[in-house]
Structure 1
């Protein structure tokens, strides 16, 4: 018994001493080579086994010297009980290991990422930025004015044209749809970079979400991942939409309580409504053998409806309208006779309760790199709240603040790097999330236009730290420090934080390619800016790790 207790204590002490969470200063390096990790684990296991054998030999020798008269009896008893005892203490050791690991995972994943208190760690983790230089504030301002501000000036003109045409197209869609059987389409809502005024790339594409609802007597039953007790990690951030038939008896119509004559007809429950009730919408838009809305079926329905709508109004316009992408519901391209093209996206969504959170069928390109493996799982989008938060925070920032300029420059640099080295799993949505976190943690005065270089440094440091940790939390999910004026549903604020970089933990090749692209972008930053800015008034550059004055 004392030997078993000693073994357990030895194992627990070894685990605690070598645990990276409890002693981070002694274990700051994460081994990226899997074979090396396995080899070290085997060596540690062999050392522990040798120590165990030595302890057993010493105990056996002591027992032989102190009690020689009962050696035979003890040997027989040891042969009978040692296997059971060893199995018991081994099992107990494994339980202790598991408890420590569960506690570590809960502590790591269940805590909101407090970026405001981690500034000291940024300089430690940002080793890849050493030796990288950024142009100074005057050069960055000149680059922004000559390259990106021109793009921004085109936004209002394109937006006005596309908004008018989109409204006309959706109105035609409503007129060609069967109001008794088809989905009911509501007014479109502009979201994304074009409506947040930080679009940095051409073509300038407007993104619209189009809420739709089922016709009577159907209704949607919404199931988000945070409303379920258990959900797999790859389904976090998703939800499902179930189609149900509403209970007609709940209307309280008098025809349910009074016997009408043969010549009398209830206008609410007419033969047309009865025929509509007999139509099975779940057979048209639901996944096979289920009552859950299928995003692929919805995409097909929406594309057919848009085609019918365009055929009805095409004679009014002097341009052609085509689908820009076939695997997106409403990725459309306007092509004028002069050859000029304008692209925009109409994406069907379902409203979550009475909030501005929506279930979205498909994301526009370069929004989120990872999609759901199942067509019945719809990703929740907070695009309306993102636009609203940026508008809200702008009221407290200095005039001509640099937050959108930083995001535009970073998005421009990343886009140019991807055109050189290939697509990256790092998207503009991740870059915007970085900006939102910094807007919440840094003082408003720090976003003055004179602090452009310093804030761009902060965004790069923050992004590299998040990539190295493979951890970037969604700004709205699990964030309990948001202004009440936004009206974020409480269930999402109280939900567990949602890691947007979780896929990098599981997909090592994708992670390595993303890191390589990011490091190449850092190396080419100064060259790209100087190349696109024709005239540089001040050629000075400062180290990325130099503290701003």
Structure 2
């Protein structure tokens, strides 16, 4: 009976050989193999119990004879080998099932993670890249600003030497202005380094600022009237110069360079477009004598109200330099600049009032008095970067930050309170959005620091509203409201990424 069972199991083991178990088996096959192994294990246990019972029934005398007889037959060895084979098969199947289950769990968990990671990456990759670029760009700005200032100063010196015997405007020491020289930039790859070059009247000429009230422009604008001055009493000082007022026209035309009125003015007013063309010609003629010019490939870009240069070095890096020109209002920090106004069409004889020099001095004054770990520039740069392409311009965001820098103590702009300051900026912007009013920082500001020299009418003037178009146009207000909520959604992950970058980076 027992031997028959052994033979039957041996037959099953030979005919129904187990398949290879691997990751490619489906769930139904795995279930059948588990049931097969369990049945084999139960049958094995029953068989062992029957053998033990049979052995107990026989006496010790007969046991020795039976064992001797069994050992002499091949059936005994075949049965014993098959039992060992079954034991090994059960052990192998169990180990294989355990490995398969573990690998299935790992695959399912890893697939879940793979599904979650893209969502997390989509949310944070952009924010992390912005945070890293802000850290990287603040270092690059300082180096490039120093280089640009040195090159533009050399350009002005070369121009003075070339035109020293003419009656062109006299160029003064250039002043770096704009976001780059303030320590931040809304973009990383295409930052424009702007320099304002003050101009004074040449010998025998004088500049007179005339306020122009008939132009319907959003900011104060003026015209610069050019007048000829008598130089008869200064002949020794000016050398061989002939007085434009007291010498015949034919003699002046034959023996002296033309006056500024004839070269760069329209109806006695300094013409922005003519001055710009003159600057562009200067750049083409004089740039080779500028320090470091041999290391750059220079192209003068045609613009209407400034002189734009594109510089490319040996590595292919591109730097844009914009040289603007202006006339200082008395001894103040305010200039009449060639920079564009917000008007759709600005006449060539109109020079908008510019606070660019005062704004540069404001940020440098903040940097000089702030704590070492102050992160006000990081706040400014992050706001400007997020606002790109929205209703809120970089100048609007800068105005908000300047208002807060002027009211919140500087010691509260350190890294630890970075998120709180960003909340303050968005709350201030939201308040202005509700009121449809964002006041100009320099005009009508009663809390202006004493370090800045402004015209007398600045504090008494009513501040222009930078949101005036929004207040008049409901569609613009709706667009601004939508853009504000998008800014809030983009700002939170960017703030978290930037805070992590700040925590990982050493303090300056």
TM-score bin (small chain) = 0.5 to 0.7
Whole-angstrom distance in 2 between the partners of 1:236 and 1:369: 8
Q: Which residue is equivalent to 1:391?
A: 364
Query: Counterpart of 1:427?
Result: 393
Corresponding residue of 1:215: 202
Residue in 1 that maps onto 2:455:
489
Counterparts in 2 of 1:281 and 1:471: CA distance versus 1, 3 Å: same
Q: Structure 1 residues 149 and 324 mapped into 2: Cα distance closer, same or farther (>3 Å)?
A: farther
Map Cα deviations across residues 382-431 of structure 1 (whole Å, 9 max, x no partner): 2222222233344554442232221111111112xx2xxxxx45321211
CA distance in 1, matches of 2:415, 2:460: 35
* Partner of residue 406, structure 1: 379
**Which residue does 2:332 correspond to in 1?**
355
User: What pairs with 1:447-526 in structure 2 (closer than 5 Å)?
Assistant: 447-506=413-472, 509-526=475-492
Counterparts of 1:151 and 1:445, CA distance in 2: 24
CA distance in 2, matches of 1:207, 1:473: 25
Which residue in the other structure is 1:345 paired with?
322
Aligned position for 1:190:
176
Q: Aligned match of 1:285 in 252, 261, 264?
A: 264
Residues 1:238 and 2:221 aligned together: yes
Please say if residues 231 and 242 of structure 2, whose CA atoms lie closer than 8 Å, have aligned partners that are also in contact.
no
Q: How does 1:234-383 map to 2 (within 5 A)?
A: 234=217, 236-248=219-231, 268=238, 270=240, 272-274=242-244, 275=252, 279-287=258-266, 290-310=267-287, 317-324=294-301, 326-363=303-340, 370=343, 373-383=346-356
- Contact 1:237–1:498 (8 Å) recurs in 2: no
**Change over 3 Å in CA distance of 1:143–1:180 after alignment to 2:** closer
Per the alignment, do residues 536 and 450 of structure 1 end up closer, same or farther by CA in structure 2, a change over 3 Å counting? closer
Q: Is the 8 A contact 2:195 2:322 kept in 1?
A: yes
Q: Cα 1:151–1:480, aligned 2, differ >3 Å: closer, same or farther?
A: same
Q: Distance in 2 between matches of 1:477 and 1:517?
A: 27
CA contact (8 A) 1:474 1:498 kept: yes
Q: Which structure 1 residue ranges, 5 or more long, are not aligned?
A: 1-138, 254-264, 419-423, 539-549
Cα distance in 1 between the residues matched to 2:224 and 2:402: 29
1:318 to partner: Cα distance: 3.4
TM-score by length of 2: 0.64
Question: C-alpha offsets along residues 123-155 of structure 1, whole Å, 9 cap, x if unaligned?
Answer: xxxxxxxxxxxxxxxx99988763311111112
Q: Which has the higher contact order (CA 8 A, sep 6+)?
A: 1
Secondary structure in 2 aligned to 1:485?
coil
- Residues 393 and 218 (structure 1), Cα distance of their counterparts in 2 relative to 1, 3 Å cut: same
Equivalence for 1:159: 145
| Higher deviation after alignment, 504-513 or 401-410 | 504-513
Q: Distance in 1 between matches of 2:476 and 2:309?
A: 30
Whose radius of gyration is greater, 1 or 2? 2
Q: CA offsets, 1:38-66, max 9 Å, x none?
A: xxxxxxxxxxxxxxxxxxxxxxxxxxxxx
Question: 1:258-304 CA distances to partner (integer Å, 9 max, x unpaired)?
Answer: xxxxxxx86657454553888353343223xx322222222122112
Q: Secondary structure at the match of 1:486?
A: coil
Kept in 2, the 8 Å contact 1:530–1:536? The answer is no
Unmatched segments (≥5 aa) in structure 2? 1-124, 245-251
* TM-score, normalisation: structure 1: 0.59
Task: Report the alpha carbon displacement of residue 535 of structure 1 after superposing the two structures with TM.
Answer: 8.2
Computed over aligned residues only, the root mean square deviation of the Cα atoms, in angstroms, reads: 3.5
Give 3-state SS (helix, strand or coil) of 1:484's partner.
coil
CA pair 348-156 structure 1, distance change in 2 beyond 3 A? same
